[in-house]
Amino acid sequence: MLLPGNHDVGYAGDISRPRLVRYEKAFGPYNYMLSFRPPAPENRSVTGEEPELRIAVLNSLTLDTPIWDQSLADESYSFLEGLQNSRQKGGSKSQATVLLTHLPLHKPEQICVDGPEVKYFPPHYGGGIKSQNFVSEEVSDRLKEMIFGSPTEEDQGGEGAILTGHDHEGCQSVHFWEKGKNTWNVTTYKKWMDERPEKQVDAKTVREITVRSMMGEFGGNAGLFSAWYDYDLNGMSPVQFPARMREILICSTRVEVRVCLLRPWNPARLVDRPCCQHNRRDVVVDHRTVVHS
């Protein structure tokens, strides 16, 4: 799976249709979804909806304005609407969505190394976005609502996680639904785990992992992201992704889907472990591409 970054296609203020066509010819679609439906183990059945893990690749560089070509934003939002319309409602635990996108979601200062920052081209060059550290707060909230929902008594929202890039240092955060304010909020993953308020003990959460850069001074990076359907609980359960995974591989007796995220370090040491050999199962993959032109 590949997804575009700003060095591939630019930011909203200079991204163009020819650049995306060039990217698509070389690397494939830039807005698409993979759907994994794990087979049930022998003598086990599913209560309710069939288990599904959705992996959505989104071109987030076209979501904010001012943008050079509005049709590119319309295309990305049409893809998001498709994800929203296909999300299982009513608090279903049988479906989870993993969002992969280049720009991290909005966060206030001191959550990650990067803080919010947007720069613009001068008016005679269109006045569009020249660079940005995150998508805007408005777009961030809209993304979470479209993909994971706004938890209510009738709909507890969707399960899932977010994997992003762009911030070379990497970052781990938790987006959580504040019931009292009826809005999404965000904090660091460490603070959430260490100081989680009692009033938020049952809060709806979505973890965001900004994967550390592969460039030399950062030491490389590799990780295995695991998601599984637990037939005892009738629920899809992401997320397993250590902050600095090197030789750790996750072994499980559950039906499991693994996404390998590699930022080169020492590939020769990423080898199969004997404990994992007997736990493998074939997974049915439904590759649905949604690219509107």
Residue 86 CA: distances (Å) to CA of 83, 95, 149, 255? 5, 10, 12, 23
Residue 189 lies in a domain: yes
Q: Is residue 160 part of a domain?
A: yes
Tens-place pLDDT, residues 12-40: 999 999 999 999 999 999 999 999 887 77
Least confident of 5-14, 156-165, 190-199: 190-199
SS3 (DSSP) at 236:
strand
Instruction: Report d(CA 88, CA 269) in Å as an integer.
Output: 39
Note whether residue 1 is domain-resident: no
**Pair 69, 16: CB distance under 8 Å:** yes
Q: Which domain holds residue 240?
A: 6-289
- Read off the pLDDT of residues 141-185 as tens digits, 9 standing for 90 and up: 999 989 988 776 566 667 889 999 999 888 999 998 887 788 889
Residue 162 lies in a domain: yes
Q: Evaluate whether residue 50 is within a structural domain.
A: yes
Does residue 238 belong to any structural domain of this protein?
yes
Tens of pLDDT, residues 124-147: 999 999 999 999 999 999 999 899
Q: How confident is the model at residue 277 (pLDDT cuts 50, 70, 90)?
A: very low
Provide the whole-model pTM.
Answer: 0.79
- In whole angstroms, give the CA distance from residue 51 to residue 39: 9
Indicate the number of domains in the chain.
1
The string of pLDDT tens digits covering residues 55-109 is: 999 999 999 999 999 999 999 999 999 999 988 876 667 888 999 999 999 999 9
Flag whether 194 is in a domain: yes
Average pLDDT, the chain: 77
